[in-house]
Structure 1
Amino acid sequence: MNDWFFGITPGQLALLLGLGALVVTAAGVGVAVYGWYTRRTMRRLEQMLEQTIAGSFEQGDYSEARLSRLEEKLSRFLHSSQLSRRAIEEDRGRIKSLIGDISHQTKTPLANILLYGQLLDEQPLPEAARPMLAQINTEAEKLQFLIEALVKLSRLESGVVQPVTQVQSLEPLLQALEHSFRPVAEQKGVSLRVLSTGARACFDCKWTQEAVGNLVDNAIKYTPAGGHVSVACEQYAMFCRVTVRDDGPGIPESEQAAVFRRFYRGSAAPKSPGVGVGLALARQIATLQGGYIKLASEPGKGSEFSLYLPLEAQM
């Protein structure tokens, strides 16, 4: 009885225990090796992602013996993403160069057309030629504004330039707008009222003045003589609202979504000067600063454009 344990001799029992210990040890070693391999794989994956974020990732010649399938697939994906990023950067560079060429090549001819138009206006001309000269000057000024607006819009859309925002008061911006547009409004017989404000927001002063200026310019263009245009600010919990109201013809609901498209001219547009770029540019400026533009309008009751600017910098 002492030499048997359930039919197993002590020697066999010792052998089984030894084999069990060996299996447990081998399993522990396997788990340790697998854990090491998993940690190494995770470190490699993390390294790939960090290199991709930094823009320095380069695909190597990986084999199944060195890297897991996951690593190899991620490597191919990140390499493709890196190539796409480089292609985008190259396209952005070409767009920047093209915009610069357009701006440079058109600036001098347009300036000369406007200059000679002014010189001709000072010369004795037949009365029949005066309306034609005025039309030449008007169209040249419109073309100059169009090219400048398109260059600005293209630079913003392509990322060539970015608004640099900071938290600041809106009062200086409103004062600058009033100084710029009051003579234009008075010349047309439109009352321009810019309300003082203590509101603050996070915005780029130069580009925001461009955006609000386009809204004010449109309001004056579409408001008939004797009408009113007002600019006011209201500060809320997360945004500051800059509102431009006018007594113009209003915009039908069916056209309100389209007025922000490039070159779109509404049903009332043929009666007023413009090229259909100002609202598209204003919306792009607002979007890049973390804001947006809303429109409220009814035919015969004027329009209200509201530019919303964040109070704090956007992450």
Structure 2
Amino acid sequence: MSRIFVIRHSIFAQIVVWAIITAATITFGLWVLTNATIQRTNRQALERAVGVDLAGMVDIYASGDKDELAKRIGDRLALQQRDGDVAHYLLADAQGARIAGDLIRWPGLHAGTSESADIYIDGTNRAFARSTQLAPNLRLLVAHEYRDLGLLLRQVALVFLTGGVLAMLAVALGGWTAAHRLAGRLERINAAFRQPDDAALEELARGSAGHDEIDELASHSGNALARLKRLAASHRATSDHVAHEMRTPLMHLDNRLVKALAATPDAETAARIADARTEIRGIIRMLESLLDIAASEARRGDRHGLAPVDLSALAARLGELYADSAEESGHVLQLDIEPEVTIDGEEMQLTRLITNLLDNAFKFVPPGGTVRLKLRKGPRLVVSDDGPGIPEDQRESIFEKFSRGKSCFGTEGAGLGLALCRAIAERHHLEIALAPTDGGASFTVTPEFQR
């Protein structure tokens, strides 16, 4: 099924299909034009034959009389070949009564103007007829049947059908060969984007001996990816270094505060020291969250390092861990987990995604409220609650960094939990959204471009 999907969405496959359709359309158009030309040529030949035959009859009448003309008409009818150009005649008086010929009645053509038209012989055989006025009481009609072109047209159609099929096969083979080569060259570029390792980027930057537009695109893409990779590596190194330089003095400061608490200061001083330690730990957690968000955003769409993860087992395990804490805090945790739901991902990051959503729900739902964790194949992960919900003016910015909401305990977080959830989701080609509900909040995590 995936192979059919790729073919349907490949620009090269579409080009080949359109080339085949174009070849078939041109072939059909040529056949229609040839068929019309044969029909028109046949009618023109028939008109000339009728004109020549009629002129000959007029000459016979002019050099003889009515009886001589009637005799010659009879001779022609007796001697004509039935498998050739079949002719019909009618010599009639002014009232249309037959004097000679094989036609029974006058077809209604105006003889005085030498009118011509198609008529039917015995109601079945179509013929081209032309009339003329020989004398005030004498008129003549000459008609020739249309030749049966069925065999000729079938032969022409067979020739065009065979030629069209051969042309389409040639177009399909040539197009597929060219498309296969182009697809292989573009696949090198796509592979480098999917997994930009040094060897692939170096090979892409070199290009090939063709030096055409695709080689130029491949070279530019390789160089651009290599620069982006160096910039990303430099950014991560700088971020890690800054975080380390900030985390280390903060940890040292925390250790000094621990020693200060060990000296048994008075109650007010001890409370201030404890508050300071809480602030320090909050800053450290914020730094770690920012680094995690930056790392996830930098690897968005990167499939390198992903492995199959049993999301059902992971969600069930986390649900059991949160069930005990939910009971202690006076909450109800409901689990609805479909088995055998798997996804390619990093288990540690997916764990943080689920725990952040659960922590967010428990933080904003007052005691006695219900938190629900639901998992379906797709995958489709839903964490919902019956708490106060998200204010309307915060629904658009809830996933942005430092977007804070007031919890039921009166405390505010750093505003990085949902931002980290979104970064982790995008890293795994997932999309997190706030679903509309009548009450509470409902966060859904689904594959990108699905809801």
Question: Which residue matches 2:59?
Answer: none
Bigger relative contact order (CA 8 A; separation at least 6)? 1
Aligned equivalent of 2:284, options 128, 144, 147 = 144
1:211 CA drift (Å):
0.4
Residues 58/251 of structure 1: CA separation in 2 closer, same or farther (3 Å cut): closer
Please point out which of 395, 404, 408 is paired with 1:265: 404
Q: Could you give the per-residue CA deviations for residues 60-104 of structure 1, whole angstroms, max 9, x where no partner exists?
A: 9x9xxxx8xxx5555544433332122111111102212331343
Counterpart position of 2:315? 173
Alignment of 1:220-231 (within 5 A): 220-231=362-373
Counterpart for residue 153 of structure 1: 293
Distance 2:184 2:366 in 1: 64
Change (3 A) 1:175 1:44: closer
- Deviation per residue, 1:97-135 (Å, 9 max, x gap): 123313432343333333343444444222222332232
Secondary structure of 1:273's partner? coil
Match of 1:219 among 356, 361, 372: 361
**Closer, same or farther: CA 42–261 of 1 in aligned 2, 3 Å:** closer
Q: Select which of 337, 340, 343 maps to 1:202.
A: 343
1:1-315 pair list within 5 angstroms: 54-55=200-201, 56-58=203-205, 71-159=211-299, 164-166=306-308, 168-179=310-321, 182-183=324-325, 185=326, 189-195=329-335, 197-199=337-339, 200-204=341-345, 205-233=347-375, 235-236=376-377, 239-266=378-405, 271-296=410-435, 301-308=439-446
Q: Is the 8 A contact 1:232 1:244 kept in 2?
A: yes
**Amino acid in the other structure paired with 1:307:** V
SS in 2 for 1:276: coil
**CA gap 1:272/1:182 in 2 versus in 1, 3 angstroms:** farther
User: What is the aligned residue count?
Assistant: 257
Q: Distance in 2 between matches of 1:242 and 1:59?
A: 44
Distance verdict in 2 for CA 1:191–1:286, change over 3 Å: same
> TM-score, normalised to structure 2's length?
0.49
**AA matched with 2:364:** Y
Cα shift readout 1:10-66 (whole Å, capped 9, x = no counterpart): xxxxxxxxxxxxxxxxxxxxxxxxxxxxxxx99997897576554314569x9xxxx
Query: Which runs of 5 or more residues in structure 2 are unaligned?
Result: 1-177, 193-199
Letter in 1 for 2:228: I
Q: Are the counterparts in 1 of residues 363 and 408 from structure 2 also a CA contact under 8 Å?
A: no
> Rg larger in 1 or in 2?
2
Q: Could you tell me how far apart the structure 2 residues matched to 1:44 and 1:203 are? A: 31
| Displacement of 1:289 | 1.8
- Asked if 2 retains the 8 angstrom alpha-carbon contact of 1:231 and 1:245, the reply is yes
Deviating more after overlay: 192-201 vs 276-285: 192-201
- More deviation, 207-216/164-173: 164-173
Distance 2:259 2:322 in 1: 26
Which residue identity lines up with residue 209 of structure 1 in the other structure?
T
- Return closer, same or farther for 1:223/1:114 CA change in 2, 3 Å cut-off: farther
Partner of 1:4: none
RMSD: 3.7
Contact 1:51/1:57, CA 8 A, preserved across alignment:
yes
Distance 1:196 1:288 in 2: 25
Of all paired residues, the percent bearing the same amino acid is 23
Secondary structure of 1:128's aligned partner: helix
Unaligned 5+ runs, structure 1: 1-40, 311-315
Cα displacement string for residues 127-173 of structure 1 (whole angstroms, at most 9, x for unaligned residues): 22233223212211211111111111111111298662415251343
